[in-house]
Amino acid sequence: MATNTVRLHRVLRAPPERLYRAFVESSAFERWLPPFGFTGKVHSMEPVVGGAWRMSFTAFGSGHSHSFGGKYLELVPGQRIAYDAAFDDPNLPGTMTTTVTLTAVSCGTDMSVVQEGIPDVIPVEMCYLGWQESLVALAQLVEPEIPG
């Protein structure tokens, strides 16, 4: 199994609880996780420790899809999320683990993301680029303060 790792850090203008919800509510997850040029579909999501989740990304231009899923390893509301994931495609072997740490700060939330075990056939820099795009979409989802 590959040991390729991506580490990201952001400070977002939103409370930790809102960021946490973006990871455990299916409609939110499929809205922000797909990188630019992809749509996302959550097929199942059971956000409890040991619960399973499955989703797919579809390239908007070509219509080509890939699906993946895994289990929740740790869920501490407003603080920490850890889950694993494996692709259905046998050409993308191994299991990745993603750990998200959320810490309240004066202007919102300090968020750290670590994704380990990225398959060797996926260039780490492409995975990093995809995460950066996803985090832009995450900020657009969680930062607006909409009354009511």
Domains and CATH numbers, the chain: 4-142 (3.30.530.20)
Q: Is 142 exposed, middle or buried (0-12, 13-18, 19+ CB in 10 A)?
A: buried
Q: Indicate the pLDDT class of residue 2, thresholds 50, 70 and 90.
A: very low
Give percent of the chain above pLDDT 90: 93
Q: What is the mean pLDDT of residues 36-64?
A: 97
Could you tell me if 137 and 131 are in contact, meaning their C-beta atoms sit under 8 angstroms apart?
no
Looking at this protein, which amino acid is placed at residue 90?
Answer: P
Q: What is the mean pLDDT of residues 15-35?
A: 97
Q: What is the mean pLDDT of residues 32-39?
A: 96
Q: What is the mean pLDDT of residues 79-93?
A: 95
Over the stretch 110-145, which tens digit does the pLDDT of each residue have?
Answer: 999 999 999 999 999 999 999 999 999 999 999 999
Beta strands 52-59 and 65-76 are antiparallel
The pLDDT mean for the chain works out to: 95
Q: What is the mean pLDDT of residues 73-94?
A: 96
Q: What is the mean pLDDT of residues 81-97?
A: 95
